Structure 1
């Protein structure tokens, strides 16, 4: 050994290892770092540093871990940012803080999330109102429903779609396929007062130039578009980077169904009468830059 005079042997029973930086108790015994903690916590030495849990101010006191059942201590304080208590290295990053129960944590999260949720709810109500007013401004609801019922009877006779969809979940539409992959010309409307109401609706039950399909009312609009494209053999690159994206339009007025949100449920669109079963729908390609620049209050129409 190169430095036999450096360090001292640990006085803890069965240890006796040399520690070059031993810790000495006031009783005169020296210990390695690990056994100094055990000696201090054993309660057998009256002169050993007294364990304290919080707010320690001098080096004669050690910090005891606040974790339930843990007897480890350390000379340096490591406080939890949540509850302010000291924890040992092993329990320093415990998954849950004992001072913050589920109810308290939920309350803290609610304080942070409430403004965001209130904004989303208010925005959702605004969008529903805009959509409702646009449909009313463009067409007579009674005439549209009559037209859709006539189409529906013909569509159900020839409709194609995934057989895995339960009959109770199936909803039927007539789909007009795009004639090319070029982006369709569209106009953007933010003010419903600028819309021109339709004076009359032509009831045309003919399915010429359209494909009768059924989809699930429980699907998102994005999944519905994917299924329609599979059934009608339409090239669909919505899930890839590209200049054009597929969107669904009502044939009657050229209104784009939810141009920004693809996660909206088909059944929800039908409840709000954005879609009516039996509608003739057009699947068209739209310039991706137009979609990315849309504001929440902007609607798209075919020109």
Structure 2
């Protein structure tokens, strides 16, 4: 059994394909197949109704209205020449503003890393009290710092023990 009223032909002049699931363009209201439904594929004459872009001024960050037929670049350029008022408060601020207080270090961090003891700001490398020779009340050691201190003490005692054993063996001879 045939269905003579089922489906529609694509409105694109070069296609005219019979489509059983036709799609209607929301700008020009014509019917198209899946291959020609995009605005640029069927050269839609009413695309300006749907494809609206509002450029933003790079200096004052204000939206610039563009009328039909005007090029956005020309409108933004005219705005920058006549109406643009760059606001210094809205200008791009530097991200890395927190300078390290360790002498000789010129690094800057995005976030503040304040020492609990001396209350000064440091970079990631000098954030621990032992790393920046903190003049605070006491030298609190982090777990990593404590482990490093223990390793160094252990290696020092092992070298001392080794030297003592060598001295004793030489003394016996």
Fold match, TM over 0.5? no
Q: For CA contacts below 8 A with separation 6 or more, give which structure has more relative contact order.
A: 1
How high is the TM-score relative to the length of structure 1? 0.21
Task: Report the TM-score, using the length of structure 2 for normalisation.
Answer: 0.32
Q: Which has the higher strand share?
A: 1
Higher helix share: 1
